Homo-oligomer: A and B are copies of this chain.
Amino acid sequence: MSIPDALSELSSLLGDRLSRSKSDRDLHGACEMDFPLTPPDAVAYPENTAEVAALVEICARHGCPIVGWGAGTSLEGHALAVRGGVSVDFARMNRVREVAAEDMIAVVEPGLTREALNTELRATGLFFPVDPGANASLGGMAATRASGTTAVRYGTMRANVLGLEVVLADGRVIRTGSRAPKSSAGYDLTGLMVGSEGTLGLITELTLRLQGQPEAVSAAICAFSDMHAAVEAVITTIQSGIPMARIEFVDAESAAAFNAHAGAAMSEAPHLLVEFHGSPAGVAEQAERFGEIVADMGGSDFQWADRPEDRTALWKMRHNAYYACRAIRPDAAAITTDVCVPISRLAEAVEETAADIAESGIPGPILGHVGDGNFHALLLPRADDANELATAKALAGRMAERALRLGGTVTGEHGIGMGKLHYMEAEHGAAWEVMGQIKRALDPQDLMNPGKMVRGN
């Protein structure tokens, strides 16, 4: 029982689609964030479910760890091969298997990216709404329960995955869910797999809910004198029941970064970026009511982006915020944080975080999907300054602890991976052990993405 024996059998199964090259292994042992390089022993490129099942069966027989790999956009080291083994890269399983327009669903392979899916859907009048910013793979988005700018309207991956095909740790292939819009037939295994970060099985097919392209879309940006007013405007908007499609917050430091590095011309103040979806009359009404709320909160600089190209530019700027903000200090390390709190505690959470960052002297623009109570600080300590690095990590730690203290969660959308594992007990208490019991029941050898999610053996 050994990894080399597994690799030898996997070579026979996959031929040159099992790679042991250093470059491939290093690529699959790296993460967007600052984690130590942790390469797998080999990278497999299966082409279909049967190959994945055969691969897992071989690994199970030889006790070889298995880590899934989508587009590599994880921010918490989810796919680091901390115990070696095989990285299963779904690049060759990236097809749209079916679009059932009448049922508003698509059946896709896990390596397909969300942008590729939406490109294929363009002619159908349908789209897949979950938008984490990065062009992530849909399998990875399901595995991490991703969300992003549109979750306030359309929900996270949890709400948008109707069913899955999963290869379990012993090579069994199961199907979860059905094509019916709802079901009361048994445990919600789809929901259990979504967010399980590859620790319970490998997703080999997803049945996704689609949405109709809205008849009308309108976007806008507006400024606030301070963070508190912006956050209060968000709370009032949500509570008024205005069905926002997006409602994003960026702070003054982010606005300055957009001006400097993304060609924006924003006042250096906190801003909200919003989008409305609906019928022409519905969108107009929503926009008008939102405008009233903004005026009440002292908002200003209202700019509409009604033309598609203006909206595209607006959201491209938001999606590239990471790069614009990094350019504040090009040689800095970047620590991306991600917390989520109840809406009632959002102003408090953002303000305390901003004050804490300001006191540290480290740049740390704050932005987020505030309609969900979810926000990020991008901390930029000097890469060669051990004190700054330690200070930034302490700031990130206090953000997580603050979120828990305020009734929230240490991660709204980025997931646990390696980066948040040490908060699981604080967040879940005795329920964390229940996750471990489920893990051991479905993966008794601890082969599926070992070293993640549950308490170590």
Q: Which residues of A contact B (CB under 8 A)?
A: 100, 102-105, 144-147, 151, 155-156, 158-159, 168, 172-176, 178-189, 191-192, 194-196, 200, 211-212, 214-215, 235, 238-241, 278-279, 281-282, 285, 289, 340-344, 372-374, 403, 407-416, 420, 423-424, 427-432, 434-435, 437-438, 440-442, 453
Contact = CB atoms under 8 A, between A and B. Distances in A.
A161 to B, nearest CB: 11
A179 to B, nearest CB: 4
Contacts of A235: 102
Contacts of A423: 185
A184 B437 contact: no
A13 to B, nearest CB: 22
Given A100-B342, A212-B241, A441-B437, A188 B184 contact: no
B179 A408 contact: yes
8 contacts: A102-B235, A146-B184, A180-B372, A185-B410, A185-B427, A186-B424, A186-B428, A191-B191
A448 B187 CA distance: 14
Contacts of A407: 178-180
Q: Top 9 nearest A-B pairs by Cβ distance? A: A191-B191, A441-B441, A102-B344, A183-B409, A180-B408, A179-B407, A174-B431, A180-B340, A212-B241
A103 B344 contact: yes
A184 B414 contact: yes
A215 B285 CA distance: 13
A104 to B, nearest CB: 7
A435 B189 CA distance: 8
A437 B442 contact: yes
Contacts of A168: 434
Nearest to A338: B184
A8 B422 CA distance: 44
A196 B187 CA distance: 5
Contact of A372 (B181, B279, B416): B181
A93 B214 CA distance: 44
Contacts of A200: 187
A156 B182 contact: yes
A180 B341 contact: yes
A200 B187 CA distance: 10
B181 A416 contact: no
Contacts of A182: 147, 151, 156, 340, 372-374, 409, 412-413
Contact of A403 (B102, B180, B373): B180
A427 B178 contact: yes
B188 A434 contact: no
A194 to B, nearest CB: 7
Contacts of A424: 185-186
B438 A187 contact: yes
Given A102-B235, A145-B188, 13 more contacts: A145-B183, A174-B431, A175-B428, A178-B408, A179-B342, A180-B372, A180-B403, A181-B343, A185-B427, A186-B416, A212-B240, A214-B241, A438-B438
A81 B305 CA distance: 61
Contacts of A173: 430
B184 A145 contact: yes
Given A179-B342, A184-B414, A408-B180, A429 B281 contact: no
A429 B175 contact: yes
A188 B180 contact: no
Contacts of A409: 178, 180, 182-185
A111 B187 CA distance: 22
Contacts of A431: 174-176, 189
Given A282-B282, A373-B180, A408-B180, A428 B185 contact: yes
Contacts of A453: 186-187
